[in-house]
Structure 1
């Protein structure tokens, strides 16, 4: 009798609006981090393959003993499923940045601040679920495999010893900031296109507008991940390619794809910064025009008096 009472109280507590909103924000933020973690895993895979190229180990993945990963990452020299998924999300994020008004979500416009009650189609939800689960399997098992096999990130400054002070230090603070902006914009696009429809349908059962607290939570979680180590490890996607070229090593197709993804993210940031400058210029021109018109009207009234 007492256990049933406690179960009923717990059920009622979980159904309170505050806890439901808290669970919604936490779930949305954690699932949105899957995309930055995908870049982290790609960088670690590049690190692992770079280490293998200098050892007598067979040219295979360090965690190929894990059966699910052996299906997803059959050959580290060529792009894998995760490369394909990240490329799709990054490319659509670039299109979104270029055509700001275009919406990839069928039930709402990501740039709109007005709420909508139009339900998401079941086909789109099934596609979002499949994409989210595939990302989750690739990222979680992949990062766990690299940690279990002891493949921790390399010192990017150290791998360039012997070839001058170049490659690893060529990425300065400005490029890091630009990449941070691009990664954040790509993560927001991933969240709006895939994560939010799934979480809305699962937790709230309705489609609602994007709120400020949700964006703040996602930005804070991404900032924590960036400071924890993503800012250092992700540079391996482009540094290792430069190091291999300077050492006259064989450049694999996967290295080229990693480099393209890195610069694609930077391009997204540059496009966003460009539109931000355009918005600021329009705002300043509108304000100056308004002040000029008001001053002109005041002069006309004085002349009439």
Structure 2
């Protein structure tokens, strides 16, 4: 009896903390799209004539750390989608690693965005970048959107949720809730509509324009191009899995209807 009362009190206290947990999850999950936004704006700083080099707002080590963490998350997401296995829970038993990763990404994004905002250098792409962005296939953008959302969900499951649950509830043992997925998806959609859909294309467009102009590419241009198209591949895998799921459901429905018709025929024959 006392155990049931304690469980009820625990659930009641958790229900009071649930809104704070949802807000924290939605904000911290946005670090991934914000990182892509920061890197897309940083890529414009290497475009000659139109944008001057930005070198005072973030150290090269910070950018390298951000690229490293994002690359690991992207590759993990791709492997998880191709294998179909649940994501690795190794970090869940070592929450201090999640805390360190979360702190590093938040610090890199905060310093980077603040540095970009504090500069007076215009970040509007020139006509070549605008035309190259408009020429991109709509389906590629859709696949990148889905892939980036999947990368954000991996970040939410592996890093954000364990840290937030441990901080708010004092323990990480809850299963993923549909409400949490919905909040993360809505915040990502708003972020995409507000900024990402117009600016994230520079990650790959800058490198393609440089190739057309026979300009030299640096390592960051290649990394931007690589991360963009890995996200496109992840989106392609998600589309293929979705189509396969609906096709299988359609085939199963047809088989069940046929079996139902055959059973009806057999019953009628027996009666005759």
TM-score (norm 2): 0.88
In the alignment, the residues of structure 2 paired with residue 151 and residue 177 of structure 1 have an alpha-carbon distance, to the nearest angstrom, of 31
Alignment of 1:24-43 (within 5 A): 24-43=21-40
* Distance of 1:219 and 1:55 partners within structure 2: 35
Between Structure 1 and Structure 2, how many residues are aligned? 259
Q: Give the structure 2 partner of residue 246 of structure 1.
A: 212
Structure 2: which 5+ runs fail to align? Answer: 1-11
Q: In the alignment, is residue 82 of structure 1 matched against residue 58 of structure 2?
A: no
Is residue 231 of structure 1 aligned with residue 197 of structure 2? yes
Q: Does 1:298 align with 2:264?
A: yes
Q: Are residues 1:215 and 2:204 paired?
A: no
Query: By how many angstroms is 1:35 displaced?
Result: 0.7
Contact in 1 for aligned 2:38/2:113 (Cα 8 Å): yes
Question: Which 4+ runs in 1 deviate beyond 6 A?
Answer: none
Task: Check 1:26–1:81 CA distance in 2 against 1; reply closer, same or farther (3 A cut).
Answer: same
Partner of 2:45: 48
Q: Which residue of structure 1 lines up, in the alignment, with residue 54 of structure 2?
A: 61
Q: CA RMSD in A?
A: 2.1
Find out whether 1:145 has 2:115 as its counterpart. yes
Structure 1 residue 94: Cα displacement: 0.2
Contact (CA 8 Å) 1:146, 1:152: kept in 2 or not?
A: no
Q: Deviation of residue 155 (structure 1)?
A: 3.5
1:91 aligned to 2:61?
Answer: no
Give me the whole-angstrom Cα distance separating, in 1, the residues matched to 2:50 and 2:257: 70
For the 8 Å contact 1:105–1:192, the answer to whether it is kept is: no
Q: Partners in 2 of 1:278 and 1:168 — Cα distance? A: 31
CA distance in 2, matches of 1:254, 1:56: 16
**Alpha-carbon separation, structure 1, partners of 2:208 and 2:168:** 45
Judging changes above 3 Å, is the alpha-carbon distance between structure 1 residues 160 and 205 closer, same or farther for their aligned structure 2 residues? closer
Match runs of 1:149-168 below 5 Å: 149-155=119-125, 158-160=127-129, 167-168=132-133
Any idea what the Cα deviations from partners look like across 1:195-238, whole Å, max 9, x if unmatched? 11111111112320111111111111111111111111110011
Q: Secondary structure at the match of 1:49?
A: coil
Counterparts in 2 of 1:152 and 1:214: CA distance versus 1, 3 Å: farther
- Relative to 1, partners in 2 of residues 1:93 and 1:297: Cα closer, same or farther, differing over 3 Å? same
- Counterpart-to-counterpart distance in 2, 1:153 and 1:292: 61
Structure 1 residues 288 and 200: alpha-carbon distance in aligned structure 2, compared to 1, 3 A threshold: same
Q: Which has a greater percent of helix?
A: 2
Match of 1:194 among 143, 159, 168: 159
Aligned to 2:136: 171
Q: Please list the CA deviations of residues 4-49 of structure 1 after superposition, one character each: whole Å capped at 9, or x if unmatched.
A: xxxxxxxxxxx95444110000100110110111111110110112
Deviations 1:215-267 (A, max 9, x none): 11111111111111111111001111111111111111210110010000000
Q: 2:88 aligns to what?
A: 104
